[in-house]
Amino acid sequence: MQVYFDNAATTALDPEVIRVMIDTMENNFGNPSSIHSHGRQVKTIVEKARKSIAQILHTSPSEIFFTSGGTEADNMAIVRSIVDFGITHAITTPIEHHAVLHTLEEMEKSGKVHLDLLHVDSNGNIDLNQLEDLLSKNPRTFVSIMHGNNELGNLNDIEKISEICQKYKAIFHSDTVQTMGHYPHDLSKLKIDFITGAGHKFHGPKGVGFLYINANTKIKPMIYGGAQERNMRGGTENVYGIAGLAKALELSYEHMEEHSAYIQGLKSYMIEQLQTAIPDIKFNGVTEPNKALYTVLNVSFPCTDMADMLLFNLDIAGISCSGGSACSSGTDIGSHVLGAIRADGTRPSVRFSFCRNNTKEEVDFVVNHLKEICK
């Protein structure tokens, strides 16, 4: 049996998405910037996709900008905000995706901002009282806090965070890559400056994503060289990817309630089976359904002698997942997220991430192998 439990890294393309992309490839090859009929036909595909995404997210098409993925979208929001608004103070968390954390750290190294990292407890919960305290001292600040953590699965209350940021007139960006297509986002109600999405996290294509920019937040382009994306992102659009991205998001919203319930059931089942099979395991992060991604489960195992070989053994058994350990010394390279929550660096940790294609039979297969490995 081959088991793929690494859906937080990337998901398989939905067959309907593939069909849309193939049809676009076969029948629409024009450049969307060309003014002739071939170009106009392709431009229509791009704008229909933009309108579809905007309708789903309850916002205006003029606030959706296509990018190469979540990393570019995060970088654009962060770098342009700091430079264009002359911001000198930024706040984030030590458990952000590197697309955010490394970008802000680089901005600090270059002398653009002073960066504060919010405290996180042993379960990965962030300190919102500290956020408010920091903002009260320096209100004109850039804040970047993710919606769902890609390693632990913790969900942050971005509605509450947005209220705090709005109170102090801070610029608020949230990396929503792990929740886009899995949780509803209503931008007509959420007071936020930027959110990001990446197609391959919800059964769409790789290499395409988008950045939502609130109409009241004016920034300059990060990539120059053309008038594409309403002069906000130079470069010929990835038309096939954009068509697939829009279709994938449409499908995810159409079946969201059904799929989320099913996947949450799989995650809960795996928690139960692991607790029975390996009593000394520990779950990293929060596991309560309303406080954590239903797609992600991070587990620390007691087999410390297998720390360097656990993922290898799972791979040999046909099981694909991801993982690592917290740094146990100053020279170790480990998960910055597990390090931030002070996880035991001697215990191997594995992130299992699920999608609608997974089954209980696959969970049983994985748990049985883990039980043998951890004997």
The set of catalytic residues is 327
Report the C-alpha gap between 176 and 132 in whole angstroms.
21
Report the C-alpha gap between 187 and 289 in whole angstroms.
23
- Residue 185: both structure tokens together: 């986002």
Nearest of 279, 316, 313, 318 to residue 299 by alpha carbon? 279
CA distance readout (Å), 168 to 98, 133, 163, 164: 26, 10, 9, 7
- Residue 346: both structure tokens together: 């001697």
CA distance readout (Å), 274 to 313, 341, 374: 17, 22, 11
Report the C-alpha gap between 140 and 36 in whole angstroms.
46
Nearest of 369, 164, 150, 367 to residue 274 by alpha carbon? 367
Report the C-alpha gap between 120 and 116 in whole angstroms.
13
Helices of type H across the chain: 15-27, 37-57, 70-84, 98-109, 128-137, 158-167, 228-231, 239-254, 256-277, 310-316, 336-340, 360-373
CA distance readout (Å), 292 to 138, 144, 182, 288, 350: 31, 19, 12, 6, 16
Task: Identify whether the C-beta of residue 141 lies closer than 8 Å to the C-beta of residue 116.
Answer: no
Report the C-alpha gap between 248 and 40 in whole angstroms.
23
- Residue 258: both structure tokens together: 């059904």
